[in-house]
């Protein structure tokens, strides 16, 4: 059996796949190493809701046998990856971190899970999230919050906080999350990682438990743009089972990694939006923009006049769609209770017991926005402003190739800090919501660290189907950035895992 490097968990997706392909790494040893790290560290982080020890080892053994037999290996063969627990898995529970689905095991795999299997990835388990992906902190999980590896008192962000925490702590090489309004990008920023929200329709939503169907997209979280692009290449592509899937062949989103970005036009958001950031975020963002210019990018001032309405629009559109999508969880068709006695009482009790506070809040907001007499005043008007936001981006991309902004206004907040003030948490999404509303791709990439040692992130947004360009720019930016994304006290082989 090939020997393991001293710090194999510090290798990226690309290096792990190459090592397994050339025989310098064993898939089984690599998986066992990460399973041991999960056992050691996840008790403090609570990033996983389910770990598939037997399934992961069996998949790793199949890969090792295939390599020994001289068979060609798939592009992610043997790479240990985690999956957010709102994506259906035939061999593991899918709970959406909700009591409503506690113990539920789907009879099929989500499209992205099928893609990972076809690419040879080893799925270690399912990660924690805000219940039904509704939240920005992973505080709203029915099974307890996830902690940020950079500071265990801080949130890893949400709703894909479990996925981000597992990657940052080197418990998995990469992870899948879902992004409805920033839910892979904000956790990546809080945990010093890179995440990609693809163009709407680029990745099939088949088997992703729906939150807001016109916004939901699955995206990868990894420790570099190159690694995230490699995972995205494995899961993107047309799927006839998803009516919103773009009929477009697969693509290698890492093909331009390593190439110079001289001449790329970078639109820079300024003004009132940037002023809402804390001073360290402002300084880090300005330094990041200067770094892009030093790499040869041409800076262009851009304006998104309706960006400030993004929060209001999102928190009308998303809850409205959620109130429709979650109507099925009634204790009769889906949910934690079986019908007995008065069906109306069963329905009401199931929703009262099965859903947490944030989910119930959003269902009520959405039902109100769609109700008779309010549809035109709220939901329809929000959709019209959404069109204006999309038009703003089209005008901006006539002058630039990508748009740079902070990912979040400030670094990770303390766990529970905004639990009693949901509006304050909603306001944290000012930068990540507009690309989602416009259906555009965006990459979150590290851009610095605060004086107290917390990561900060920059967001790069592109026109539709420009993921390859975004990965290229983020890759160049990251290679030029002296940033060690290893959380303090986690990830070193000297810890015994």
Any catalytic annotation for residue 204?
no
Is there a contact between 223 and 236 (Cβ–Cβ < 8 Å)? no
CA distance between the termini of the chain = 19
Q: What is the pLDDT of residue 496?
A: 38
Confidence of residue 490 (pLDDT cuts 50, 70, 90): low
Q: Mapping DSSP to helix (H, G, I), strand (E, B) and coil, where does residue 15 land?
A: helix
- pLDDT digit string, tens, across residues 36-90: 999 999 999 999 999 999 999 999 999 999 999 999 999 999 999 999 999 999 9
Lowest mean pLDDT among 34-48, 147-161, 319-333: 319-333
Confidence of residue 401 (pLDDT cuts 50, 70, 90): very high
Across residues 181-187, what is the average pLDDT? Answer: 98
**pTM score, whole prediction:** 0.94
- pLDDT digit string, tens, across residues 107-145: 999 999 999 999 999 999 999 999 999 999 999 999 999
Is there a contact between 77 and 17 (Cβ–Cβ < 8 Å)? yes
For residue 425 the two structure tokens come to 């948490």
Q: What is the pLDDT of residue 7?
A: 84
185-200 b/e (C-beta count within 10 Å ≥ 16 → b): bbbbbbbbbbbbbbbb
With the CA atoms of 53, 56, 57 and 60 taken in that order, what torsion angle do they form, in degrees rounded to the nearest 10?
-170
- pLDDT digit string, tens, across residues 362-374: 999 999 999 888 8
Across residues 285-291, what is the average pLDDT? Answer: 95
| Domain 8-306+390-487 annotated CATH 3.90.1300.10 | yes
| Set 98, 141, 155, 159: catalytic member | 159
Across residues 184-189, what is the average pLDDT? Answer: 98
Q: What is the pLDDT of residue 372?
A: 82
| Set 136, 155, 165, 183: catalytic member | 183
Is there a contact between 287 and 280 (Cβ–Cβ < 8 Å)? no
Q: Is the pLDDT of residue 301 over 80?
A: yes
Q: What is the pLDDT of residue 306?
A: 95
Mean of pLDDT over the chain: 92
> How much of the chain exceeds pLDDT 70, in percent?
91
State the CB neighbour count (10 A cutoff) for residue 260.
11
Alpha carbon of residue 321 to chain centroid: 20
Could you write out the DSSP letters of every residue in 188-213? HHHHT-EEEEPPTTSS--TTBPPS-T
Confidence of residue 421 (pLDDT cuts 50, 70, 90): confident
For residue 258, say if its preceding peptide bond is cis, omega within 30 degrees of 0: no
Confidence of residue 273 (pLDDT cuts 50, 70, 90): confident
Ranges of CATH 3.90.1300.10 domains, the chain: 8-306+390-487
How many residues are listed for the chain in this entry? Answer: 497
Could you write out the DSSP letters of every residue in 369-421? HHSTTTIIIIIIHHHHHHHHHHHHHHHHTTT-SEEEEESSSSSPPBTTTTTT-
From 409, 445, 410, 412, select the one nearest 196 (Cα to Cα): 445
Q: What is the pLDDT of residue 343?
A: 47
Q: Name the CA radius of gyration of the chain, rounded.
A: 21
Across residues 86-105, what is the average pLDDT? Answer: 96
Q: Mapping DSSP to helix (H, G, I), strand (E, B) and coil, where does residue 455 land?
A: strand
State the CB neighbour count (10 A cutoff) for residue 428.
20
Any catalytic annotation for residue 381?
no
State the CB neighbour count (10 A cutoff) for residue 420.
7
For residue 334 the two structure tokens come to 């889906």
- pLDDT digit string, tens, across residues 256-265: 999 999 999 9
How far apart are the C-alpha atoms of 35 and 38, rounded to whole Å? Answer: 5
Q: What are the phi and psi torsion angles at 409 (to 5°)? A: -70, -20
Q: Is the pLDDT of residue 489 over 50?
A: no
For residue 393 the two structure tokens come to 């981006």
Any catalytic annotation for residue 84?
yes
How far apart are the C-alpha atoms of 357 and 190, rounded to whole Å? Answer: 24
Q: Is the pLDDT of residue 339 over 60?
A: no
Is there a contact between 496 and 20 (Cβ–Cβ < 8 Å)? no
């Amino acid at each position: 059996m090939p020997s393991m490097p001293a710090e194999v968990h510090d290798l990226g997706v690309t290096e792990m796949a190459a090592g397994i392909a050339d025989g310098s790494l064993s898939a089984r040893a690599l998986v066992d190493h990460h399973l041991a790290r999960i056992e050691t560290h996840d008790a403090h982080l609570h990033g996983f809701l389910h770990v598939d020890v037997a399934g992961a080892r069996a998949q790793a053994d199949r890969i090792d046998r295939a390599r020994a037999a001289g068979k060609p290996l798939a592009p992610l063969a043997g790479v240990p990856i985690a999956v957010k627990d709102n994506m259906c898995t035939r061999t593991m529970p899918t709970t959406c971190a909700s009591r409503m689905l506690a113990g539920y095991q789907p009879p099929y795999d989500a499209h992205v899970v099928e893609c990972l299997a076809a690419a040879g990835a080893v799925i270690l388990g399912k990660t924690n999230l805000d219940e039904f992906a509704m939240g920005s902190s992973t505080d709203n999980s029915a099974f307890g919050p996830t902690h940020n590896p950079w500071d265990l008192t801080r949130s890893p962000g949400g709703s894909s906080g479990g996925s981000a925490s597992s990657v940052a702590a080197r418990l998995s090489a990469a992870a899948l999350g879902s992004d409805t309004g920033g839910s892979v990008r904000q956790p990546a920023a809080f945990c010093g990682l890179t995440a990609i929200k693809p163009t709407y329709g680029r990745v099939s939503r088949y088997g992703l438990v729906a939150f807001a169907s016109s916004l939901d997209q699955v995206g990868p979280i990894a420790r570099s743009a190159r690694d995230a692009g490699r995972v995205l290449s494995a899961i993107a592509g047309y799927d006839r089972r998803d009516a919103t899937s773009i009929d477009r062949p697969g693509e290698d989103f890492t093909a331009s990694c390593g190439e110079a970005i001289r001449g790329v036009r970078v639109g820079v958001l300024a003004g009132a939006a940037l002023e809402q950031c804390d001073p360290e975020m402002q300084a880090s963002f300005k330094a990041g923009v200067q770094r892009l210019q030093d790499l040869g990018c041409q800076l262009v001032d851009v304006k998104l006049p309706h960006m400030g309405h993004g929060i209001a629009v999102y928190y009308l559109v998303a809850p409205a769609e959620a109130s429709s999508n979650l109507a099925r969880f009634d204790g009769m068709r889906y949910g934690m209770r079986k019908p007995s006695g008065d069906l109306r009482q069963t329905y009401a009790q199931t929703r009262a017991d099965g859903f947490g506070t944030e989910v119930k809040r959003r269902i009520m907001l959405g039902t109100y926005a769609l109700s008779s007499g309010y549809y035109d005043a709220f939901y329809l008007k929000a959709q019209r402003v959404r069109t204006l936001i999309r038009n703003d981006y089209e005008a901006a991309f006539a002058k630039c190739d990508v748009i740079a902004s902070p990912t979040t206004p400030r670094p990770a907040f303390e766990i529970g800090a905004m639990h009693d003030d949901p509006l304050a948490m909603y306001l944290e999404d000012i930068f990540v919501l507009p690309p989602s509303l416009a259906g555009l791709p965006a990459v979150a990439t590290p851009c610095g660290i605060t004086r107290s040692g917390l990561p900060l992130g920059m967001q790069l947004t592109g026109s539709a189907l420009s993921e390859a360009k975004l990965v290229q720019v983020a890759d160049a930016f990251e290679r030029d950035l002296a940033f060690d994304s290893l959380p303090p006290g986690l990830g070193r082989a000297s810890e015994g895992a």
